[in-house]
Amino acid sequence: MKYVLVGSGQFSEKSKFKEYAKDCKLIACDGGIDHCRKDNIVPDIMVGDFDSATNENYMYFKNMGVEEIKFPTHKDMTDMEIGMDLALKYGADEIYIFGGIGSRLDHSMGNVHLMCKSLEKGVKTFLINEDNTVTLVDKSIEINTHRGQTVSLIPLTTTAEGVTTVNLEYALNDATMTIGSTLGISNVATEDNISISVKKGILIVFLSQD
């Protein structure tokens, strides 16, 4: 089952939120409720402490009977992490996160790190806005792209060893990438799909929509 998590971060129509939400189970994480109301999409579940969502939209979905899992404001995890844990508990095999990139850099970075949870369980997860799609790889992954698309690889761990790429202009073959180096920035897809493999460590993969 595919799941969409939607948070309060901003994104535009170009992010294709409505397209993804239509075909997936949808968990609205606190302020993500406002995106759902704006786009006339009813979430399957709404979670969080609901301090970011407008009360009007919260009550709108509550009165519709949308399942609600409420947490206290003072807690040890973000609303997005609550949504992630729920999706994994319910057996998600793919997760798409919208509203997870915004003006709060700490939350944006936290959501990149949050994908480690699903990575450990072998669940493909993508963090999406109108400008970028972000995912993690610790073994191998094939990704649909388009020729000329900018692709960047940045180590999440201290080193990423045995990095090999296929269909990138600046090919890597059993390379070691280290945190603090910009070696993997601004590569270019040469075909409509790419593959990336890693023997040890974790890479962040950025697909730019320019």
Q: What is the CATH number of the domain that holds 154?
A: 2.60.120.320
Examine the fold and report which residue of 102, 130, 158 is the final residue of a domain before the chain moves on.
130
CA end-to-end distance (rounded Å), the chain: 30
Are 98 and 196 in a shared domain?
Answer: no
Indicate left, alpha or beta for 162 from its phi (over 0: left) and psi (-120 to 50: alpha): left
Are 110 and 178 in a shared domain?
Answer: no
Are 93 and 156 in a shared domain?
Answer: no
Range of the domain at 195: 137-208
Are 62 and 123 in a shared domain?
Answer: yes
Total number of domains in the chain: 2
Can you say whether the dihedral through the CA atoms of 97, 103, 109, 114 is positive or negative?
negative
Beta-carbon contacts of 116 under 8 Å, excluding residues fewer than 6 positions away, are 136, 156, 202
| Tens digits of residue pLDDT in 43-97 | 999 999 888 899 999 999 999 999 999 988 788 899 999 999 999 999 999 999 9
Are 13 and 107 in a shared domain?
Answer: yes
**Helical residues (DSSP H) of the chain, grouped into ranges:** 17-22, 32-38, 55-63, 79-89, 105-120
Which of the four pLDDT bands, split at 50, 70 and 90, describes residue 14?
confident
Q: Output the pLDDT for position 209.
A: 85
Examine the fold and report which residue of 96, 112, 130 is the final residue of a domain before the chain moves on.
130
Q: Specify the CATH number for the domain of residue 28.
A: 3.40.50.10240
Cα angle vertex 4, ends 166, 135, to 5°?
Answer: 25
Q: Output the pLDDT for position 12.
A: 80
Are 115 and 12 in a shared domain?
Answer: yes
Q: Are 116 and 122 in contact (CB under 8 A)?
A: no
Distance separating alpha carbons of residues 184 and 170, to the nearest angstrom: 9
Q: Output the pLDDT for position 76.
A: 86
Are 121 and 155 in a shared domain?
Answer: no
pTM: 0.94
